């Protein structure tokens, strides 16, 4: 299945939106307006955008910290993401948490799970439940190379393999886990090699080539949906920033970083769009201007959003909500209500 010119334009918008939204977040972070850490995906946008693009409506997606692009492809609005990272009262998590727990279940987008690897068995359970309900849902989740060294990953993928569950695990090989280079925490030559131990299918794709990622992800999703069991899709990419914004990445070789900057996935796709006559520089500039305007409005709206008050902290966590809110309010913040 080829990716039509219209789809390529959509992909371009998602890639650029991911990068520009992240730049807005960096600015908010530096102004002290963001809550918690900022985990960037600079250089990895094509992996998250391309893989999520291969899913269909009704499918499930559980991202991790570097999958802002997948979250946007699933239909998240920048203003809601900004409200969430600024822990505003009208964010989807109502000010309880930041980006990690952004989720829109109605769009098949669930929140990341902090314990690396755990999402594999959780998503396996979700698609197993859908199978019982007679749905042909595919679940997609993501892991870095460090995440594939956890016990949870192995338990989850083994269970999914035995049950032949429609699960696609995108392995984002981005060279570092925190400050640990890949060869210091993984003995296998490639992450895809791990699939053989479980009788699971796998492939490796250039994670900086968005069209190649879309193609590979479509094949993985089709394989899983057809009842063949899970698929491990290794996307070779590179984390151009430290683990989080506070990490100065002193452990990274400058020449290595420069080399991967030259391999930037967005600049590369722009060259393709030019050569294929899909979008010229002027058309791309128009997209950028449109996104800039959208983000100006989104930042202003999110900044103007109300801060949470303690009361909602107790809401939505118990069935007998009123009684629970009253009891906890009396216990912890006496006199709140
Ligand atoms: C089970 C578990 N161990 C440790 C951590 C702490 N931790 C969070 S992110 C991270 C590094 C992850 O590296 P990798 O999986 O390669 O993903 P990347 O950050 O490179 O995208 C670690 C060790 C965790 N969240 N969960």
- Residue 76 · residue 111 · CB < 8 Å: no
Residue tagged 């996935």 (tokens): 265
The per-residue pLDDT for 262 is 98
Q: Calculate how far, in angstroms, residue 20's C-alpha sits from the geometric centre of ligand 1.
A: 25
Q: Which two tokens stand for residue 286?
A: 């128009």
Residue 208 has pLDDT above 70, yes or no: yes
Torsion of the alpha carbons at 9, 107, 218 and 127, rounded to the nearest 10: 170
With residue 60 as reference, give the H or E element that holds it: strand 60-62
* pLDDT bucket at 309, cuts 50 / 70 / 90: confident
> 153: Cβ–Cβ under 8 A, 6 or more apart, which residues?
116, 117, 120, 143, 147
The per-residue pLDDT for 333 is 60
Q: How far apart are CA 116 and CA 73, in angstroms?
A: 23
Identify which of 73, 171, 177 has the alpha carbon closest to the alpha carbon of residue 119: 171
Residue 164 has pLDDT above 50, yes or no: yes
For ligand 1, atom 20: residue with the closest CA: 177
Residue 135 has pLDDT above 90, yes or no: yes
Residue 336 has pLDDT above 70, yes or no: no
Q: How far apart are CA 162 and CA 21, in angstroms?
A: 40
Lowest mean pLDDT among 204-213, 222-231, 232-241, 324-333: 324-333
For ligand 1, atom 13: residue with the closest CA: 177
- Residue 206 · residue 269 · CB < 8 Å: no
E strands in 120-200 = 139-144, 167-173, 176-177, 180-181
How much is the average pLDDT of 166-189? Answer: 96
Identify which of 182, 171, 235 has the alpha carbon closest to the alpha carbon of residue 209: 235
Q: State percent of the chain over pLDDT 90.
A: 88
Q: What is the mean pLDDT of the chain?
A: 94
Q: Which atom of ligand 1 has the smallest separation from the CA of 39?
A: 19
Query: Model confidence over 41-91: pLDDT tens digits?
Result: 999 999 999 999 999 999 999 999 999 999 999 999 999 999 999 999 999
How much is the average pLDDT of 128-149? Answer: 97
Report in angstroms the alpha-carbon separations of 158 from 126, 155, 164, 169, 328: 15, 5, 10, 12, 41
Q: Which atom of ligand 1 has the smallest separation from the CA of 178?
A: 11
The verdict on the CB of residue 185 being under 6 Å from ligand 1 is no
From 146, 172, 240, mutation site for ligand 1 pocket: most ligand atoms within 8 A of C-beta: 146
Residue 337 has pLDDT above 60, yes or no: no
Question: Which residues, in sequence order, are bridge partners of residue 167?
Answer: 139
Identify which of 318, 307, 312 has the alpha carbon closest to the alpha carbon of residue 336: 312
For ligand 1, atom 17: residue with the closest CA: 144
Residue 255 has pLDDT above 80, yes or no: yes
- Residue 145 · residue 174 · CB < 8 Å: yes
* pLDDT bucket at 274, cuts 50 / 70 / 90: very high
* pLDDT bucket at 327, cuts 50 / 70 / 90: confident
Burial, 194: exposed, middle or buried (Cβ in 10 Å; 0-12, 13-18, 19+)? buried
Q: Calculate how far, in angstroms, residue 56's C-alpha sits from the geometric centre of ligand 1.
A: 28
Residue 314 has pLDDT above 80, yes or no: no
The verdict on the CB of residue 332 being under 6 Å from ligand 1 is no
The verdict on the CB of residue 243 being under 6 Å from ligand 1 is yes
Q: How far apart are CA 55 and CA 49, in angstroms?
A: 11
* pLDDT bucket at 325, cuts 50 / 70 / 90: confident
Query: Model confidence over 92-117: pLDDT tens digits?
Result: 998 888 999 999 999 999 999 999 99
The per-residue pLDDT for 92 is 93
């Amino acid at each position: 299945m080829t990716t039509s010119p219209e789809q390529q334009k959509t992909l371009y918008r998602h890639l650029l939106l991911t990068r520009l939204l992240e730049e807005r977040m960096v600015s908010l972070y530096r102004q002290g307006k963001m809550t918690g850490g900022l985990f960037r995906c600079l250089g990895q946008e094509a992996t998250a955008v391309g893989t999520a693009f291969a899913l269909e409506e009704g499918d499930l997606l559980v991202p991790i910290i570097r999958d802002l692009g997948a979250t946007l492809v699933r239909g998240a609005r920048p203003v809601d993401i900004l409200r969430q990272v600024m822990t505003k009262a009208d964010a989807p998590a109502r000010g309880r948490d930041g980006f990690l727990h952004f989720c829109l279940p109605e769009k098949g987008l669930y929140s990341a799970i902090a314990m690396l690897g755990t999402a594999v068995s959780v998503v396996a359970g979700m698609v197993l439940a859908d199978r019982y309900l007679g749905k042909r849902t595919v679940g997609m989740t993501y892991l870095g190379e460090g995440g594939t060294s956890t016990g949870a990953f192995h338990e989850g993928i083994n269970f999914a393999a035995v049950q032949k569950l429609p699960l696609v695990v995108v392995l984002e090989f981005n060279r570092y886990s925190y400050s640990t280079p890949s060869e210091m925490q993984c003995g296998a030559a490639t992450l895809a090699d791990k699939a053989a131990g479980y009788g699971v299918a796998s492939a490796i794709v250039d994670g900086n080539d968005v069209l190649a990622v879309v193609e590979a992800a479509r094949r993985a999703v089709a394989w899983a949906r057809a009842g063949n069991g899970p698929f491990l899709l290794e996307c070779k990419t590179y984390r151009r920033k430290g683990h989080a914004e506070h990490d100065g990445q002193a452990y990274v070789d400058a020449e290595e970083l420069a080399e991967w900057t030259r391999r930037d996935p967005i600049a590369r796709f722009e060259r393709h769009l030019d050569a294929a006559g899909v979008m010229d520089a002027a058309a791309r500039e128009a997209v950028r201007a449109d996104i800039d305007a959208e983000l100006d409005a989104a930042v202003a709206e999110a900044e103007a959003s109300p801060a949470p008050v303690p009361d909602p902290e107790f809401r939505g966590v118990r069935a007998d909500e009123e009684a629970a809110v009253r009891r906890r309010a009396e216990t912890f913040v006496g006199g709140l209500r």
